[in-house]
């Protein structure tokens, strides 16, 4: 990747050129900060390189160093008189002046944004608070420090005596070693001139000494950061003056001399990599900087010019920071004074008075009635006045009994709670509605943020059904990353994307953290739920596990303020998500061809090239950019691929020019074509000239789905979307005519619309509800989705197929409401448009849709020290694979991943902000019937890369090290492996038996249809008893077993739940269940619903019951798997018999041990009997 000089930034609005003494790229916006020799800092923005804010730093001396962060810009003058922090708009936040000595340098803390390190001439190190600028700690230094730099683990200092030293980041003190003392090394004889680090290497440049005079050291010194052992230096004969490490290539250095020679060096491949040299045409370089992604190099010189090297100089401008970040803060321009033509006859009243848009204090009239500033004094009750005695003008009386407890109390109106709980559902008015009619200027309730309230029964008690009376499920909000709910709903109801996600989970994806797999699991949950609330906990957790997500700032840490800009965040996540889907779903060169185009066929009818990734076929915009030089007319074509369309709004035009069309179709077309002009150096004529750029996209090359980021970053952008007298901006269908490739002499690209228009239909819009007072840089806190549901277009009980998904609140709306933008409170974020009539032509035949049932028969573990003697399960054989109605018993154990967040108020009350978060640690699934009834076929511990707060050993049986691959002796698998098996069991129609399964399935983040769940906590429940019984008490009373004495075991719990279910059927067959249930509650009240202590425990009454026993497995039996095999053939297509680890041919015999009964014939009708028993249980309950 080579660099090329682009148009420099020259001095602007200055009479004389001022040398540039310091440079820094902004990490969060398209800004380059430059400090000059007169002590001022200026901001240069975007492609135009216009100078923005301009503020002084110190006492008029040159700016020595600039450090730009996400919210602040810190700078200090060369004199060292102080260090200050300014906002991006130029407002000073704080300024620190050292009391005793001047400052020499500073550096920001890498892991603690609340502190920074400052060095003084004393010599000493100071730690400052970045919020207030006040000193926190003072530490002595052995010599005067001139350079400070933070590596990934240590603080590195360069001193005036030429020593490099390493310090502990946590204490900012020198690292001490009993044998060698401080970690230091003599790097240069005359002092340090610059240093940087990458990984375990630190690079320095400095001064040498020749004839007692300092000279530039012509070697770049390299040291091992761990021991400060010197390595082979790199020669640079021109004399290194500035050094920077490339942020994307840690082994690459950018070294520059004061005369403009720039050398890009690959330290690890000096002999093989070709050298990269660049010459900056200047007399003297005074500063340098490298952009956050390494795409730009900036060099300031003594003439006040900033020279820029770029990796892509000739295409459309790419932001300095590498992505579309925070909006630029421009300085407030003073309002110009009005011009008045003055003459001797001009009346004085033509000057006018100031206009005020708010009432003045002097406008208050005393004649108007005034509201009292305080409430009148309460009247003394007559009971008190009649008994009052007056002594020295003070009245005394005894308080009557009827008034006791009512003094000094303020009785306010009852405040209705937003939270609705199922526990008090009977006391509520059934006619209540979560929405009401409001004033048009206010945000309707359906768009407002709805929070989950927590009762003493937890989040499961919240009545989600009150907010959703439709057949379409919402998503809960109490998890981190739930701001993606609106986009997840959009993807779910985009049918091609739904098919692709469901297909991906059937493949053998080897990624532990796969976003496309998690999307497929969310899609399956929403399909099965049918109006019941779901949560995307695993999807959001996967986002935080991806390293790229942290770089793109799309991780929700739960620390965002109330005015967090979620609109920009969700648009960034939209781009990140599609790029992630491309890498995860790409099976090149074996990708299925979903979209078939005639232009990709050769003369023989075969495809020319393999198909790209499926996401690229659905969303990819393969465009050709035409760039024509305005000076020489040279034309250059460049291919480009994009998956997200960024809206591009027209600029303001002078009053004498015709304004461009401002309808949605025209603006969308401009966003696709991106017709623009900019100043850059032509590669042909080598002149700085205007370059005209335009993208060419034939109509037939437009993708089936357009993902559009609205990019509404100002009030001017929002004005295009707001409804007016002409009608709505957004329409249900839009015709797009991208331009064709037509160019004229003279270098002007002529835009000719394609005669063939492509019609797109709006399918979904993610938007934000903001303050009704306008955008003001669009700080918003809540996102909703308005979606046109495909199923509702065909069959719906409502008139409109449009629905609003406000997290877990779902409501049907009209098309007019969905597409209108009545006020500034409704701000668009993301639009998904689907090409009309293309959905029917998409070919899904190549997508894998056959689920692999063999995963239930494969043994897998990532534990390196697994003890085979601890394996308690046996995987399913081919003939044991489940069919619809197969009974399985399940139980799971969990560990605590995050404590709950509770807000304590001044009145002593508390409110839960976010509940505790648990993670799956172990899951056990047992055979529910057949010869091996009660034998586990899944017993897996779950590996997690997150930190565990509490193992909850007393209730989970999980101990430290059980979930670590290096120390676990159990079967250990990633979460996705176990989840796929449970997902397959649900899809196969298995009936799950367990105790308290609702909470288990909720924590696992899987939805199981209610008709596939038998919960013993509901089987043995008496409504008049008003409490549900624990598994431990039920096992003691009904089964005569004492369980959970020391800790919990998921196999034991699942087996007891299965036996309780069998006992239930035994009682039902004898018509004594109701009698036994009443006896159960009667004995439970006697023992406080807890098993007695073992030493004094009486015999449980149930021992006299005729209980069914778990059928032991046979020693050998005859297997006839023909019916099972036929079912699998029907469900999964061609299934080879040898695909299973323990498959046996029909009629084969095998031994299972002496404790199993003999002569068992496998009966295919067993599943039918299970279904009949299950239906009878449902009708009984």
Beta strands at 191-198 and 826-835: parallel, antiparallel or unpaired: unpaired
Provide the β-strand partners of residue 748: 744
* C-alpha torsion sign, points 446, 449, 454, 458: positive
At residue 1101, the pLDDT reads 55
| C-alpha span between 353 and 301 (Å, rounded) | 50
Residue with tokens 């084969």: 1148
| C-alpha span between 479 and 498 (Å, rounded) | 23
Beta strands at 1013-1015 and 991-994: parallel, antiparallel or unpaired: parallel
359: tokens are 């009432």
Ordered DSSP codes for 728-797: -S--SEEEE-PEE--EETTTEEP-EE-SS-EEEEEEEEEEEE--TT--TTT----EEEEEE-HHHHHS-S
At residue 385, the pLDDT reads 84
User: Among 399, 325, 315, which Cα is nearest to 575's?
Assistant: 325
| C-alpha span between 947 and 309 (Å, rounded) | 43
At residue 1125, the pLDDT reads 39
Alpha-carbon distances, residue 912 vs 465, 474, 904 (angstroms): 21, 22, 9
| C-alpha span between 241 and 280 (Å, rounded) | 14
Give residue 1016's Cα distance to chain centre: 38
| C-alpha span between 37 and 287 (Å, rounded) | 11
| C-alpha span between 997 and 1015 (Å, rounded) | 6
591: tokens are 């990708």
CA angle 911, 915, 921 (to 5 degrees): 160
Report the first-to-last Cα separation within the chain, whole angstroms: 70
At residue 396, the pLDDT reads 86
Provide the β-strand partners of residue 813: 802
The Cβ of residue 794 has, within 10 Å, a number of other Cβ atoms equal to 8
| C-alpha span between 560 and 563 (Å, rounded) | 8
Alpha-carbon distances, residue 1172 vs 637, 1019, 1175, 1177, 1179 (angstroms): 70, 16, 5, 9, 11
Give the DSSP letter of residue 601: B
| C-alpha span between 788 and 810 (Å, rounded) | 13
Max Cα-Cα span within the chain: 124
Element (H, E) at 128: strand 124-129
Give the DSSP letter of residue 1126: H
| C-alpha span between 177 and 184 (Å, rounded) | 11
| C-alpha span between 480 and 169 (Å, rounded) | 30
Per-10-residue mean pLDDT for the chain, 1181 residues long?
85 74 91 91 85 86 91 91 90 88 86 83 87 86 88 87 83 48 80 90 91 87 90 90 90 92 88 83 90 91 90 76 81 74 79 72 57 62 84 83 62 47 57 45 81 75 85 90 93 94 92 94 93 92 90 81 80 94 89 77 65 92 89 88 92 79 90 88 89 87 92 89 86 82 41 72 90 46 90 74 93 92 90 89 87 88 93 92 94 93 80 86 95 95 92 92 94 94 94 94 93 94 83 91 86 95 93 91 89 61 47 36 41 40 36 33 45 45 40
| C-alpha span between 339 and 119 (Å, rounded) | 53
| C-alpha span between 681 and 206 (Å, rounded) | 35
At residue 824, the pLDDT reads 86
- Exposed, middle or buried: residue 464 (CB in 10 Å: 0-12, 13-18, 19+)? buried
- What is the four-CA torsion angle of 898, 483, 790, 527, rounded to 10 degrees? 0
Count how many Cα atoms sit within 13 Å of the Cα of residue 102 in the half-sphere of its side chain.
11
* C-alpha torsion sign, points 730, 735, 741, 747: negative
Element (H, E) at 255: strand 252-256
Ordered DSSP codes for 263-287: EEEEGGGTTTSPPEEEE---S-EEE
Query: What are the φ/ψ torsions at residue 840 (nearest 5 degrees)?
Result: -75, -20
863 and 965 Cβ atoms separated by less than 8 Å: yes
User: Among 1155, 687, 739, 646, which Cα is nearest to 931's?
Assistant: 1155
992 and 1013 Cβ atoms separated by less than 8 Å: yes
581 and 516 Cβ atoms separated by less than 8 Å: yes
Helix axes 515-529, 975-987, angle to 10 degrees: 30
At residue 1181, the pLDDT reads 40
Count how many Cα atoms sit within 13 Å of the Cα of residue 517 in the half-sphere of its side chain.
21
Element (H, E) at 578: helix 566-585
Entry field: residues in the chain: 1181
């Amino acid at each position: 990747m080579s660099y090329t000089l682009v148009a420099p930034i020259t001095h602007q609005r200055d009479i004389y050129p001022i040398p540039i003494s310091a440079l820094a790229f902004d990490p969060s916006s398209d800004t380059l900060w430059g400090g000059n020799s007169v002590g001022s800092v200026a901001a240069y923005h975007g492609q135009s390189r216009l100078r923005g804010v301009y503020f002084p730093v110190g006492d008029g001396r040159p700016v020595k160093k600039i450090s730009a962060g996400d919210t602040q810009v810190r700078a200090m003058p060369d004199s060292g008189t102080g260090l200050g922090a300014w906002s991006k708009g130029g407002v000073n936040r704080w300024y620190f002046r050292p009391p005793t000595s001047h400052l020499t340098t500073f550096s920001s803390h890498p892991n603690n944004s609340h502190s920074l390190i400052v060095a003084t001439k004393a010599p000493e190190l100071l730690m400052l608070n970045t919020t207030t600028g006040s000193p926190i700690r003072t530490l002595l230094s052995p010599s005067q420090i001139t350079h400070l730099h933070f590596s990934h683990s240590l603080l590195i200092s360069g001193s005036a005596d030429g020593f490099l030293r390493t310090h502990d980041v946590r204490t900012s003190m020198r690292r001490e070693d009993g044998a060698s003392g401080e970690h230091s090394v003599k790097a240069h004889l005359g002092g340090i001139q610059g240093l940087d680090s990458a990984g375990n290497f630190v690079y320095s440049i400095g001064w040498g000494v020749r004839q007692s005079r300092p000279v530039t050291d012509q070697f770049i010194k390299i040291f091992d950061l761990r021991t400060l052992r010197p390595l082979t230096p790199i020669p640079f004969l021109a004399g290194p003056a500035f050094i920077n490490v490339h942020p994307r290539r840690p082994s690459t250095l950018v070294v520059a001399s004061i005369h403009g020679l720039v050398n890009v060096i690959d330290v690890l491949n000096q002999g093989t990599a070709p050298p990269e040299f660049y010459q900056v045409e200047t007399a003297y370089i005074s500063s340098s900087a490298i952009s956050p992604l390494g795409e730009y190099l900036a060099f300031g010189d003594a003439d006040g010019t900033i020279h820029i090297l770029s990796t892509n100089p000739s295409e459309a401008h790419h932001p300095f920071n590498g992505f579309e970040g925070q909006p630029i803060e421009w300085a407030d321009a003073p309002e110009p004074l009005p011009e008045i033509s003055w003459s001797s006859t001009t009346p004085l009243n033509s000057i006018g008075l100031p206009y005020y848009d708010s009432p003045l204090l002097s406008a208050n009239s005393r004649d108007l009635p005034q509201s009292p500033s305080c409430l009148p004094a309460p009247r003394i009750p007559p009971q008190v006045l009649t008994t009052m005695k007056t002594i020295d003008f003070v009245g005394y009386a005894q308080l009557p009994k009827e008034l006791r407890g009512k003094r000094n109390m303020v009785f306010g109106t009852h405040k209705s709670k937003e939270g609705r709980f199922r526990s008090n559902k009977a006391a509520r008015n059934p006619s209540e509605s979560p929405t009401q009619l409001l004033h048009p200027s206010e945000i309707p309730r359906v768009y407002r943020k709805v929070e989950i309230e927590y009762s003493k029964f937890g989040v499961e008690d919240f009545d989600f059904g009150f907010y959703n009376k439709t057949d379409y499920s919402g998503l809960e909000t109490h998890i981190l990353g739930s701001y993606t709910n609106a986009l997840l709903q959009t993807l779910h109801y985009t049918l091609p994307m739904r098919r692709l996600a469901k297909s991906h989970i059937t493949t053998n994806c080897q990624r532990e953290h796969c976003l496309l797999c998690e999307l497929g699991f969310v899609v399956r949950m929403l399909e099965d739920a049918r109006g019941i609330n779901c949560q995307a906990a695993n999807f959001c957790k996967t986002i935080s596990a991806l390293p790229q997500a942290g770089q793109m700032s799309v991780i929700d840490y739960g620390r965002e303020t109330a005015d967090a800009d979620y609109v920009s965040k969700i648009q960034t996540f939209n781009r990140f998500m599609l790029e992630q889907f491309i890498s995860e779903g790409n099976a090149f060169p074996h990708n299925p061809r979903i979209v078939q185009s005639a232009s990709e066929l050769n003369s023989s009818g075969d495809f020319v090239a393999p198909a790209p990734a499926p996401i690229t076929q659905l969303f990819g915009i393969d465009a050709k950019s035409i760039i024509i030089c305005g000076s020489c007319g040279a034309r250059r074509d460049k291919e480009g691929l994009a998956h997200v369309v960024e809206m591009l709004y027209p600029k303001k035009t002078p009053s004498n020019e015709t304004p461009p069309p401002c309808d949605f179709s025209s603006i969308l077309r401009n966003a696709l074509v991106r017709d623009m002009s900019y100043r850059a150096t032509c590669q042909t004529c080598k002149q700085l000239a205007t370059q005209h750029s335009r993208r060419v996209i034939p109509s037939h090359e437009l993708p089936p789905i357009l993902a559009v980021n609205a990019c509404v970053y100002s009030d001017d952008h929002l004005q295009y979307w707001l409804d007016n007298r002409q009608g709505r901006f957004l329409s249900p269908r839009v015709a797009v005519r991208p331009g064709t490739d037509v160019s004229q002499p003279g270098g002007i690209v002529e835009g000719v619309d394609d005669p063939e228009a492509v019609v797109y239909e709006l399918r979904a819009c993610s938007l934000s509800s903001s303050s009704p007072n306008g955008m003001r840089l669009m700080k918003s806190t809540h996102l909703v989705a308005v979606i046109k549901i495909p199923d509702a277009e065909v069959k719906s009980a409502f008139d409109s197929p449009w629905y609003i998904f406000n997290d877990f609140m779902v409501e049907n709306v009209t098309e007019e409401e969905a597409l209108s933008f009545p006020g500034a409170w409704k701000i668009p974020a993301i639009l998904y448009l689907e090409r009309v009539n293309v959905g029917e032509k998409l070919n899904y035949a190549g997508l894998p849709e056959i689920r692999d049932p063999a995963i239930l028969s494969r043994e897998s573990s990532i534990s390196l020290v697994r003890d085979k003697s601890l394996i308690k399960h046996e995987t399913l054989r081919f003939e044991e694979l489940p069919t619809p109605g197969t009974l399985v018993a399940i139980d799971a154990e969990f560990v605590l991943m995050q404590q709950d967040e509770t807000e304590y108020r001044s009145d002593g009350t508390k409110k839960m902000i976010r509940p505790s978060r648990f993670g799956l640690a172990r899951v056990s699934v047992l055979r529910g019937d057949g010869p091996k009834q009660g034998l586990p076929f899944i017993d897996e511990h779950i590996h997690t890369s997150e930190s565990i707060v509490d193992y909850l050993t007393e209730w989970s049986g999980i101990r430290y090290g059980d979930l670590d691959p290096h120390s676990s002796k159990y079967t250990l698998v990633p979460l996705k492996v176990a989840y796929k098996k449970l997902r397959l069991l649900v899809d196969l129609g298995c009936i799950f038996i367990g105790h308290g399964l609702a909470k288990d399935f909720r924590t696992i983040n899987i939805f199981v249809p209610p008709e596939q769940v038998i919960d013993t906590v509901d089987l043995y429940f008496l409504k008049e008893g008003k409490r549900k019984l624990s598994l431990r008490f039920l096992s003691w009373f009904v089964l005569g077993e004492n369980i959970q004495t020391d800790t919990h075991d998921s196999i034991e719990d699942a087996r007891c739940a299965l036996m309780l279910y069998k006992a239930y059927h035994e009682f039902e067959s004898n018509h004594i269940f109701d009698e036994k249930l009443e006896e159960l509650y009667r004995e439970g009240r006697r023992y406080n619903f807890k098993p007695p202590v073992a030493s004094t425990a009486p015999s449980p009454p149930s021992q006299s019951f005729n209980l069914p026993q778990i059928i032991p497995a046979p020693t050998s039996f005859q297997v006839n798997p023909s019916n099972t095999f036929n079912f699998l053939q029907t469900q999964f297509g061609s299934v080879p018999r040898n695909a299973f680890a323990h498959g046996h041919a029909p009629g084969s015999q095998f031994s299972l041990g002496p404790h199993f009964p003999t002569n068992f014939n496998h009966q295919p009708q067993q599943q039918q009997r299970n279904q009949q028993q299950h239906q009878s249980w449902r009708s009984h309950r």
